Structure formats: structure tokens, C-alpha cells
Amino acid sequence: MRKFLNIEIEEAPPELKLSVEMRCRDIMKSEDYDNIKRYCTHLIRHQMDQDVFLASMLGRLIELEAALVKKNLSEEKKSNPIKKLFRID
């Protein structure tokens, strides 16, 4: 399992891998080059949309992580270290 920004990235399940492999083999066997070209151009455009979406999500995730760190740091600064030592409430 890989991690990115403390997010565990799991491996694809075997069922999905098999489905992708079967689709790839179907494409490789096909001699309908015009449909293959259309399919490939569709995939390229779809990948662009996914890349833009993932970049937006990643940017938002980083913003939220930064806000959480900022909030935690400001709460630590607000707390009185003497109260922590003597547990004065």
C-alpha cells in the first residue's frame, strides 16, 4: 500500500484488474481502427477532466489540512503553559 499526503492508496481489487485486462485485450484484437481512434481520443479528453478534478480536490484537501494545522497551533498558543503545569482550571 502506498501513501500520499497521509492518504493510503490501495491497490485495485483483482476484479477491477481483470475487467481492465479483458477490455484491453478486446481493443488489441479489434481491427476497427476508426472506432479505436474515437475511443482513444475520448479517453484522452476524459483523462484531462479527471486530472483537473483531482487537482482541484488535492488543492482543497491541502487547504483544509493547512487550516486544521493553523487552528491546532493557535489553540496551543492560547493555552496557558502554567495551567498545564499546575492543572489550574
Q: Domain limits of the chain? A: 33-89
Look at 78 and 44; give whichever has higher pLDDT: 44
Report residue 77's pLDDT band, with 50, 70 and 90 as the boundaries: confident
Listed residue (12, 36, 14, 38) closest to 24, CA to CA? 36
Report residue 9's pLDDT band, with 50, 70 and 90 as the boundaries: confident
CB 64 within 8 A of CB 7: no
pTM, rounded to two decimals = 0.62
Q: Each residue of 18-76: pLDDT tens digit?
A: 999 999 999 999 999 999 999 999 999 999 999 999 999 999 999 999 999 998 888 77
Tell me what the mean pLDDT of segment 68-86 comes to.
Answer: 74
SS3 1: coil
